[in-house]
Amino acid sequence: MEQFRPPSPLSLVGNLSEAWRRWEQRFQLYMIAAGASEKEEEVKIAILLHTIGEEALEVYNTLNITPAGDALTVEEVLKAFKTYCSPQKNVVFERHQFWSYPMSPGIVVDRYITELRQKSKDCEFGQNVDDMIRDKLVFSINDSRLKERLLRDKDLTLNKAIEICRSAEAAKTQIQAMQLNPVVQDASVDTLKKTPHNLRPGQGRIKASNKQTVCTKCGIKHEPRKCPAYGETCHKCKKKNHFSKLCRSNIDKDKPYTKTKMVNNLEADMDTLYIGVVSSDKNETNCWKETVTIRKVPIVFKLDTGADANVLPMQVYHKIPGPVQLPSTKAVLIAFGGARISAEGIVSLECVTSKGSAVLDFLVSRQADKAILGGQACEELQLVKRVDVLTPKSHTLDKLPATKEELVEKYAEVFTGLGEFPGLHHIYMDPEATPVIHACRSVPLSIMDSLKKTLKAYRTEK
């Protein structure tokens, strides 16, 4: 008997009925394992009272146990304790305990089913106990996808529900294990080649890599064999497979220095901003330039009312005193030909002119070489004013034509010569229509020369 550990003392706190059920089961197992089941009744009762604990022993002293035979048996003592620990059952309360018992997070389905079976013993479900446990399992599952899968089965039984839950638990465990231990495939060597001895220093075998570098033909980063300049003709040297901005020919060596970057638009996080030209040309006039003071540093800006953003070259930004750190941005400049020019960052600076001051946002780029003020910035600094009224040069207003004949006579050059349509045409006017000014149609650069020749020929014929 010494080699088997006796059960712990009976706890008389909490649910006495459940505590007694568990303690009695452990005591019966101990008696069988220790070989005490064949001993005399007095010895078995002594073992019971010795292992049951001091509190339960005091309860035993108050119990009035009447032996059925000549001597008291251990079964009679166990029955008396069961009666003491198991008060009158309330089926409604037991069922309430059953239906309100939650499924703890992380508990396996087999453990939860065992606990539900223990709860259902005093509920008197009868032959429907499996259906009640099945319903309680479906109601208590926290995983909405698993619950939906169980509800789709019209012939769902308790065993089938347990199998589905087991499969879901196993799959979840396997996925977690696969995520923690990713499979690493060993790279195999298919071919070994010797490096030629006649290579110059710095040359070697080019290794395949997904790292993208700036292409020397188009000026942007792209995947191998996907250069947008392939097949295109350079407008500078007339050769193929590169853009004119990266042309290495010396065909314009004797011409005055002119460096121009055509920037079509700039894409920010959600908006698309348009910029006309970022250029530097020694022959430019100062009619659309303005000196702006930023942190006591005068900077010459080009006024571009068609631009939606302000551009500041990186070399100019470094001349401005103050914090050097530049907040990053996702804005991208789309240059002529499709080249993408990334902006290094965005910065807000206070700008002062002779007409006003304002705090403006500038996109700083290393590839831009001309400072630009957009249309909104020009209005905020009062450098450009929008005029919606046209006035003649003379102080006296001309009399407007009142009839069609007066209109044709006054503007005869419009109705004769180039642009005149043969015959008579009637134009229907809608008095409720809103006047709209459309921009001129853009002409592709590839047909610009031929278009000029054609228009010149038409004018010569007329």
Q: Which CATH number fits domain 260-380: 3.40.50.1820, 3.90.1330.10, 2.30.30.100, 2.40.70.10?
A: 2.40.70.10
Cα–Cα nearest to 113, from 76, 154, 163: 163
Q: What stretch of H or E contains 410?
A: helix 404-410
pLDDT at 417 over 80: no
Helix axes 158-180, 144-152, angle to 10 degrees: 150
SS3 (DSSP) at 322: coil
Maximum average pLDDT range among 37-51, 334-348, 382-396 = 37-51
- 301: which DSSP letter? E
d(CA 348, CA 279): 23
Q: How many CA atoms lie within 13 A of 374 on its CB side?
A: 16
Query: What residue type is assigned to position 295 of the chain?
Result: R
Length of the chain: 462
Both tokens of 168, joined, read: 């879901």
Whether the predicted pLDDT of 189 surpasses 70: no
At 144, the amino acid letter reads S
Q: What are residue 125's phi and psi, to 5 degrees?
A: -75, -20
* Segment 372-379 mean pLDDT: 87
Share of the chain above pLDDT 70, in %: 77
Structure tokens at 417: 């010569």
Per-domain residue ranges for the chain? 16-85, 91-169, 260-380
Q: Which residue has the tokens 């004797």?
A: 254
* 357-365 and 372-373 strand pairing: unpaired
**Does residue 191 register a pLDDT over 60?**
no
pLDDT tens-digit series, residues 251-270: 544 444 444 333 333 333 33
Gap between the Cα atoms of 363 and 154, Å rounded: 63
Bridge partner residues of 342 (DSSP): 332
Q: How high is the mean pLDDT of the chain?
A: 78
Share of the chain above pLDDT 90, in %: 6
Distance between CA 215 and CA 223 in Å, rounded? 10
**With 70 as the cut, is the pLDDT of residue 298 above it?**
yes
